[in-house]
Amino acid sequence: MATISIALFFRPVSMTRFLFLDFLKVVAFNLIVFHHLAFYGPMADQVRHALPDLIDWLAGPARIAVQIFLVVGGFLAAKSLASRGQARLFWLWQELTRRFVKLVPPFMVAMLLAVAASRCAAIWIDHYSLTPSPTWAQIAAHALLLHGVLGVESLSAGAWYVAIDFQLYALLVLLFSLARGFRNNDASRWRVPLLIAVGIAASLFYFNPDPQWDNWAPYFFGSYGLGALAWLASRGMRSSTGSALLIGIMILLGGLALEFDFRSRIALALAVSLALAMVYGGAQAAVRWEVPGLHYLARISYSVFLIHFPVCVLVNTLFTCIGSSSPLVQGIGMLVAWVASIAAGALFHRWVEIPLGRLIALPKLPKPVRAEAGPIPPLRP
């Protein structure tokens, strides 16, 4: 009976779906939702009287969960790019266009919903977290993912991350292209992880310690690049020696960076990237198990990330206007906002993200050249 019960919740899946990866995504987006609830909402101001340490942690250190998104993003980006064929100019343009088309349309819908929610909430409450009516310049900057670098005020919490994600993907595409040298040979494959390692070093030792760079990809590439190396270490090697070498490079770069300037965000990124490399590098023959509910939550994580802010604004308004100021009532309101954000994310994924993706889908990329898609060869002595 126990075996039957377990089988109802877990089942073997293909190599393309990973339980640990799903778990990381779900943990990260839930922490980000609670972080924004604690940082922006009037409800958290009341709950802080009863649970000051918890609210302060959610409003501050909990934002470190963004590092999980960065590492997982680099891991998945490298997984996708490593299977591509020769790096030609058309390939570069199509990769960047595909990424832009995937991110921006649902992002802009969410931004407009955030503005609408704030304008509706402003009728009843006055709070610094409400988004003012945007200018056309603001909307254009967001549509081009330039709001951060131009210093334009964001229309929603977390809007900066979408722009950074696109920058990081573009940087990784560029590194893959430079490493391959527009040629298809074995030597070019080893240049991929080496160039990524150089990018990680530049980020960790020069860009990341300086917050003035936090609107640009190099500031975050240390974490993103560690995720990319984690994929190459776990799947890109023909030998355990090559995989161990990449893991050693990750430990060396991350350890030296922490010795040079300890940053908890980098410590978390290093830990998550090493866990990914080891989990998916050392379980080649193991059966993959899927938790359907967890996989679904991971699949809608981008939608939840986009839509949770307007939902939280509306729930904050509701509980501020008609609810008691009791920490218990306002705490329940925070839980309602959390659940409503996930539900709204599911609806947004079903009725906005998927339809928009189908409506403006680009032609499929050419099949990869067989030799280029192979694993990275071991280094010669």
Asked, for residue 111, whether it belongs to a domain, the answer is yes
Mean pLDDT over 65-74 rounds to 97
Distance between CA atoms of residues 366 and 381, nearest Å: 35
Structure tokens at 167: 């920058």
Task: Identify whether 127 is part of a domain.
Answer: yes
Task: Say how far apart CA 101 and CA 209 lie, in whole Å.
Answer: 32
Q: Could you tell me if residue 380 is inside a domain?
A: no
Question: Which band of pLDDT confidence, cut at 50, 70 and 90, is reported for residue 368?
Answer: very low
**353 pLDDT exceeds 60?**
yes
Query: Residue 290 is inside which H or E element, if any?
Result: strand 289-290
Given a contact cutoff of 8 angstroms between Cβ atoms, the answer to whether 153 and 340 are in contact is no
Q: Is residue 100 part of a domain?
A: yes
Does residue 381 fall inside a structural domain?
Answer: no
Between 355 and 289, residue with greater pLDDT: 355
Q: Which domain holds residue 138?
A: 16-290+300-373
What pLDDT, in 10s, does the model give residues 239-252?
A: 567 788 999 999 99
In a 3-state reduction of DSSP, which class is residue 369?
A: coil
**Per-residue pLDDT reduced to its tens digit, 308-340:** 999 999 999 999 998 788 999 999 999 999 999
Report the percent of the chain where pLDDT is more than 90. Answer: 69
pLDDT value at residue 191 = 85
Model confidence, pTM: 0.88
Residue 370 — pLDDT band, cuts 50, 70, 90? very low
pLDDT per position as a tens digit, 81-135? 887 655 555 567 888 999 999 999 999 999 999 999 999 999 999 888 898 899 9
pLDDT at 179: 78
Closest CA to 138 of 156, 120, 123: 156
Of the candidates 158, 178, 123, 182, the residue with the CA atom closest to the CA atom of residue 306 = 158
**Closest by alpha carbon to 299, among 3, 18, 61?**
18
Domain assignment present for 5:
no
Q: Is residue 330 part of a domain?
A: yes
Cβ count near 96 (within 10 Å): 15
Residue 297 has pLDDT above 60, yes or no: yes
pLDDT tens column, 130-163: 988 999 999 999 999 999 999 999 999 999 999 9
Q: Specify the higher pLDDT residue, 291 or 282.
A: 291
Handedness of CA 304, 307, 310, 311 (dihedral sign): negative
CA–CA separation, 137 and 147 (whole Å): 9
Q: State what percent of residues in the chain have pLDDT above 70.
A: 82
Total number of domains constituting the chain:
1
- pLDDT at res. 95: 87
- The C-alpha atoms of residue 284 and residue 234 are separated, in whole angstroms, by 9
Task: Show the tokens assigned to 327.
Answer: 């920490």
pLDDT greater than 50 at residue 11: no
pLDDT at res. 366: 52
Residue 156 lies in a domain: yes
- Is pLDDT of 181 > 80? no
State the pLDDT confidence band at 369, using cuts at 50, 70 and 90.
very low
As a whole number of Å, the CA-based R_g of the chain is: 22
CA distance 301 to 138: 26
**pLDDT of 283 strictly over 70:** no
Compute the distance between CA of residue 248 and CA of residue 337 in angstroms, rounded to an integer: 43
What is the distance between the alpha carbons of residues 203 and 221, in angstroms, rounded to a whole number? 6
